Structure 1
């Protein structure tokens, strides 16, 4: 599995050989499930759960886990588990199910006014009137917006912090169970945003939503369900990075989730055994087969344009070295010939569709395609940052 993932385009870095210690414990825990005749999800969780806990004894026949996984790695693994099994985790009240929250530095914000003001003050965080909210994608979490320092010495950072300065905004990060249906996450996110705006220490003037992959669909669903009232009326911009508005063929072929599990930061050492579960597909994953749709299977439209709704932007990546030139050559047919970002086709990320009625009405000049950019590279590419700064600059 690791060898197959390593050969997929866009996968960062080389994957190492056999694993030992706690990593090996996680592997053996899940591999034990795949060998069980008629193994169930409950058996998987019973075996995997102790591997995620500090000082746990681990499954029978295996050595005790010496310590918890490092925090970021543990959260990456739990996020992957939620992406694959999250609807089951929530339905069975499993403690590994991720409760939706807005976070900073891996810590959830309290959404009661006095507590929120004190929380911000204790961390020396400002309370500007502009909020930048970032929504992660399938099998990922809020801490994976960060990127490490480059080999050439370029310091690390994260896209939210890099965009916040020019916007005079505070970046906040959604942490969600991506295995739930997108509509459920959209409803929860809309309620969370309403509570945030109500509790914010100063009147909120502007909300900017930035969603990567499934995160863009969750944001669209939330705006649709909020119907322009309350917090949604304050939303000036919705940006979708590599969002599969019309679905992702790799998921339909059964490979997209395996790719994510192997390529996402912090996951490569731990999740090959999960990929062996193969046919397990959460409601969230199933939703990605055809993108964001209404009950009749029609593409859910974008929010109305300003002044009623936000400006909507779509950015797609392609593994090709060149993109169609500006002007008449930038047709749907031209984009359909691009390889996509390794997971989401360019046409899907731009809301284009062979059926006119299914197309999303992104206005001219509010879409872009970046060459040599894979799905996960959209999270930290300097070209992405440059494009978003230009789009979101005050008019």
Structure 2
């Protein structure tokens, strides 16, 4: 009788994961201690008691206790990190080619989406580095795929928040359509998948993507005829940012970019993050709840960029990203000289003012995905034939729904010109 598959979650761990988890545990303990001390001092403050070095710190014996907890936590954390660093190197040597499981990659991608900027700041090994991937492996600029395995038409697929490149593909035995495989088989594209840390600012990812695509163009093993991008959700914001960054820097790859297809991209933001911003305001409105606002402020820069759809550095630099303020983004129209398409989804069976504004695909309203805005200066103008709406479809279904594949083929198939 066949042995049932192991349900042990530890089998998915990589050598560096334990070290990353330990670092997160240390930061979490220190963070909870700061919140507890903040609540403690808020209560004392209402009784007229003075604070410590800052308004959220206690003083005297109480302050000493909190300082001791913080100090011991950091000391133990550094010791554990040093020990696990040695174990990590030994485990890596013992099994250097062990592939990561899709389950592990999904958890790490979600963690990066929520805390990715903090993972980078703390040099946590769980932070995801951007890579362009072909057939499941990161491209090596010094050892590119053989000429016989690629074509001159490259399809770049960019995932959204809390996701990774593997989630474009349909799991074995699952239902759905693989957009990359379908476009490769029908239109002779070579699919290249982007993996990146979605917790960083979209403009930071845009700068990095611009640099990576320049390397791709310079090192592609056959003459490059065209680049086409299919971007899901946040990936569309990163794409627009990358094009702007590349053109500002005079890079070559935008001249080969022919098409961009946006799938459920929140060009003008998503209401879920705007609701999260209201939670920040409400929690910060009283001295008793203010310390708990730090919990909401754990969410990443990538998430807060989705409040209004930030694309440029100027959209967030010099601003407190948790402070409530109106939309102050720099105007950035769709890139000129590139065919831009947008596919928006709605779970509703048909269009309507309420469905357009409030329902959308469950995460992104229709008007945001279609680039429409109450301010005409902010509206992104997609040609009518380049817009499509998928009904009774949610945000995640855009990744591998057969209807989406058919629309991609319709848009990207070259027109046959008659003599």
TM normalised by structure 1 equals: 0.71
Residue 380 of structure 1 and its aligned partner are, at CA, apart by 0.9
Deviations 1:286-337 (A, max 9, x none): 1111003553523421101xxxx2100010110001247xxxxxxxx58735
Match of 2:350 in 1: 322
Residue 157 of structure 1 and its aligned partner are, at CA, apart by 5.6
Match of 2:309 in 1: 291
1:235 aligns with 2:257: yes
- The 1:21/1:81 distance shift into structure 2, 3 A limit, reads closer
For residues 99 and 355 of structure 2, the distance between their equivalents in structure 1, rounded to whole angstroms, comes to 42
1:90 aligns with 2:110: no
- The 1:71/1:194 distance shift into structure 2, 3 A limit, reads same
Q: Secondary structure at the match of 1:147?
A: coil
Pick one of 317, 335, 350 that aligns with 1:303: 335
Deviations 1:252-307 (A, max 9, x none): 2239xxxxxxxxxxxxxxxxxxxx95441211111111003553523421101xxx
1:381 aligns with 2:405: no
Pick one of 226, 231, 234 that aligns with 1:211: 231
Match of 1:38 in 2: 34
Aligned partners of 2:203 and 2:311 also within 8 Å? no
TM normalised by structure 2 equals: 0.67
- The 1:192/1:374 distance shift into structure 2, 3 A limit, reads same
Q: Secondary structure at the match of 1:210?
A: strand
Q: Secondary structure at the match of 1:373?
A: coil
Match of 1:111 in 2: 141
- The 1:101/1:364 distance shift into structure 2, 3 A limit, reads same
Considering Cα pairs closer than 8 Å and 6+ residues apart, tell me whether 1 or 2 has the greater RCO. 1
- The 1:164/1:299 distance shift into structure 2, 3 A limit, reads farther
Residue 389 of structure 1 and its aligned partner are, at CA, apart by 0.5
For residues 273 and 357 of structure 2, the distance between their equivalents in structure 1, rounded to whole angstroms, comes to 19
Aligned partners of 2:157 and 2:191 also within 8 Å? yes
Aligned partners of 1:105 and 1:143 also within 8 Å? no
Higher helix share: 2
- The 1:377/1:157 distance shift into structure 2, 3 A limit, reads closer
For residues 105 and 176 of structure 1, the distance between their equivalents in structure 2, rounded to whole angstroms, comes to 16
- The 1:371/1:196 distance shift into structure 2, 3 A limit, reads same
Aligned partners of 1:319 and 1:339 also within 8 Å? yes
- The 1:164/1:359 distance shift into structure 2, 3 A limit, reads same
Aligned partners of 2:214 and 2:251 also within 8 Å? no
- The 1:345/1:150 distance shift into structure 2, 3 A limit, reads farther
1:137 aligns with 2:168: no
For residues 236 and 335 of structure 1, the distance between their equivalents in structure 2, rounded to whole angstroms, comes to 33
What is the root-mean-square deviation in Å for CA atoms of aligned residues?
3.5
1:281 aligns with 2:282: no
1:79 aligns with 2:79: no
Aligned partners of 2:202 and 2:311 also within 8 Å? no
Aligned partners of 1:299 and 1:359 also within 8 Å? no
For residues 9 and 240 of structure 2, the distance between their equivalents in structure 1, rounded to whole angstroms, comes to 42
Deviations 1:83-123 (A, max 9, x none): 111112222222211111101343101123xx11xxx23xx
Aligned partners of 2:231 and 2:239 also within 8 Å? yes
Match of 1:170 in 2: 190
Residue 148 of structure 1 and its aligned partner are, at CA, apart by 2.5
State the number of aligned residues.
317
Structure 1 residues without counterparts, runs of 5 or longer: 1-18, 58-67, 256-275, 325-332
